[in-house]
Amino acid sequence: MAFLGGIFGRKRKPDHQEFAKLLPAFIRARTWAEAQHVVKQHPALLSDEAEALLDQRIAAAREQGKQDSARVLEERHTWLRHCRQASAEATPAESASAVGAQRAAVPVLPEFLHDLRQAQEAGQCYLRTGDHAALDEAAAAWERILKHVAFAATPERFQLAALNDSGGIFLHRYWARGRVDDLNQALACWQQAVQRTPPDSPDLPALLNNLGLGLRDRYARTGELADLAVCRREGFPPNTIGGKIAAI
């Protein structure tokens, strides 16, 4: 889906002093909805320079060993990137469920309807409120969908969207709790989705962006060179997160 299309207004380039004043309000946002409001009030946050300065804050936090602060900044960086993609064409992404967007075109088997609704509603509840119980509820629902014996018989587009959206929930839970198992599960979902998506699919750039985001987090956590090799093998465009990692 288009992310927050048309509500942010015209971007302009802020100076360092202005961004230093705007950044704390954005970081303090506890939910996706609050972050949207801050960006709507301050479109300067959508500039390239703003994102670069936030990258600097993340790097500084990691160098100082402030891993919890770095994870918070990483999540805000993701929110900011989604805001910048506000006018993008429809893609599956964790902030707006692609499965829900495609249901009119792709039939959902009856045995998945309850869990799909629960996953979507609980995920949106977490984004609005920051409630970790809702995040766990969404993750559990997605796990039931992915492990269901009938999942392999569903339409391919449904499977790919489910892999992408569930990956977003698992990554959010990694950011919230710092458990590497959730990060690995998110990456497993996105790697499978990327491998099964045709190279000319309009969904591929969003999937690659999500995969690159997860690989960046795991590389920052573990320093594993294997994650750099994945970025190089997948051929991420240079201006994407994965492309920047591959250039290291």
Angle at 137 between CA 153 and CA 93, to 5 degrees: 60
Q: CA neighbours within 13 Å on the CB side: how many for 63?
A: 6
pLDDT in tens, 58-108: 888 888 888 888 877 877 777 776 666 543 333 334 433 444 444 445 567
* Statement to judge: residues 79 and 109 lie in one domain: no
CATH code for the domain in which residue 112 is found: 1.25.40.10
* Statement to judge: residues 166 and 212 lie in one domain: yes
pLDDT value of residue 36: 72
Closest CA to 25 of 42, 11, 1, 6: 42
Give domain status of residue 2, yes or no. Answer: no
* Statement to judge: residues 177 and 230 lie in one domain: yes
* Statement to judge: residues 112 and 33 lie in one domain: no
* Statement to judge: residues 152 and 43 lie in one domain: no
- Count the domains in the chain: 2
pLDDT value of residue 202: 86
* Statement to judge: residues 42 and 138 lie in one domain: no
* Statement to judge: residues 107 and 74 lie in one domain: no
pLDDT value of residue 183: 93
* Statement to judge: residues 153 and 230 lie in one domain: yes
Give domain status of residue 22, yes or no. Answer: yes
Give domain status of residue 7, yes or no. Answer: no
Decide which of 34, 58, 84 is a domain's last residue. Answer: 84
* Statement to judge: residues 128 and 228 lie in one domain: yes
What residues of the chain score a pLDDT lower than 70? 1-20, 31-33, 81-107, 225-248
Q: Containing domain of residue 203, as a range?
A: 98-246
The maximal CA–CA distance of the chain, rounded, in angstroms, is 55
Decide which of 55, 84, 113 is a domain's last residue. Answer: 84
Handedness of CA 159, 160, 164, 167 (dihedral sign): positive
Give domain status of residue 3, yes or no. Answer: no
* Statement to judge: residues 242 and 183 lie in one domain: yes
Cβ neighbours of residue 185 closer than 8 Å, sequence gap 6 or more: 167, 170
* Statement to judge: residues 147 and 211 lie in one domain: yes
Give domain status of residue 5, yes or no. Answer: no
pLDDT value of residue 129: 82
Decide which of 51, 84, 117 is a domain's last residue. Answer: 84
Give domain status of residue 234, yes or no. Answer: yes
Give domain status of residue 92, yes or no. Answer: no
* Statement to judge: residues 55 and 109 lie in one domain: no
Give domain status of residue 93, yes or no. Answer: no
